[in-house]
Amino acid sequence: MDLKLHTRSAWIKAKADELGFMDCGIAKAEFLAEEADFLEDWLRLEKQGSMDYMANHFDLRTDPTKLVPGAKSVIVLTMNYFPSAQQRSDAPKLSKYAYGKDYHKVIKKRLKSFLGALNEQFGEVYGRGFVDSAPVMEKAWARRSGVGWMGKHTNVLSKKVGSFFFLAVLVVDIPLAYDEPTTDHCGSCTACIDACPTNAIEEPYKLDASKCISYYTIELKATDLPSEMKERFERWMFGCDICQDVCPWNRFSKPHQVDAFEPKDGLLELSEEEWRELTKEQFDELFAGSAVKRTKYKGLMRNIRFVGLD
């Protein structure tokens, strides 16, 4: 046992807690051979739909040492976003992760502080922080670092808190003590597969993203959504939480303590009629600094009309 490396890792985990991260695991930075084969097959079968960016930078996506020259370690961090309250039942549905401010901005700010703290504590440390916006396979690193396992719905799961959390990684050029990978605890459960209304989870651990409601409502830029899907959306207008909501492990979810993820006043109380009559000005005010901006006003209204009761 290298006490220096363990001391470093212990300090990093304590700092992660201090900065408001829920969990922290550490893995060795290396080529993801198994995951590279899976990704190559997934792309070949065009399961990414119109998300062409998923095929970009394959070598960087599967090898952090090419993304961050000299990389030795991947620090994986999680941040809880499970809300204490949810929307009224008659409203079109918004994914819980989008209730508050855009997580990219919130977490990137903390990663910058983290990197600064690493340099102060250990001398010059070269590293980069990533939050779901770069060619990084966060889910693979979450498993390798012991943070969680990838469930049959392909979201990362933790026995302690379920799956309602964001993932972020810091790739750094210092060696650390590495955690053991997490084992799978889905067992024979197929709740997520059975509940998916669009059959996007084709088989355990394999998601056809081009069939996912989140893909349709966020990524797909077409003027109209496919009419054959109209009865399957279960009123989701931005994202979808079905596979997470039915997962037994999410009985352990606890409300987050992150002010930035709190919803804007009145958001959860909006009725179906108020959503349908939402103006561009109201959209801009309601979703200033929000991930919902990704779909733009035009896209959100397209979705609201599509899942309407008429």
Q: How far apart are the C-alpha atoms of 62 and 128, rounded to whole Å?
A: 16
Which residues is 171 bridged to in the sheet?
74, 128
**What's 2-59 look like in SS3?**
CHHHHHHHHHHHHHHHHCCCCEEEEEECCCCHHHHHHHHHHHHCCCCCCCHHHHCCHH
**Which tokens is 273 given?**
């009629």
Euclidean distance between CA atoms 105 and 101, whole angstroms: 8
- Give the burial class of 103: count Cβ atoms within 10 A of its Cβ; 0-12 exposed, 13-18 middle, 19 or more buried: buried
Q: How far apart are CA 289 and CA 220, in angstroms?
A: 21
Helix, strand or coil, per DSSP, at residue 166 = strand
Amino acid letter, 155? N
Locate the DSSP E strands across 141-252: 149-150, 156-157, 165-172, 201-203, 206-207, 236-238
Token pair 């363990």: residue: 6
What is the rounded CA–CA span in Å between residue 234 and residue 213? 9
Task: Give SS3 for 47.
Answer: coil
Q: How many CB atoms lie within 10 A of CB 112?
A: 11
Q: Are 253 and 162 in contact (CB under 8 A)?
A: yes
Catalytic positions, written as ranges:
132
Both tokens assigned to 81: 């976003």
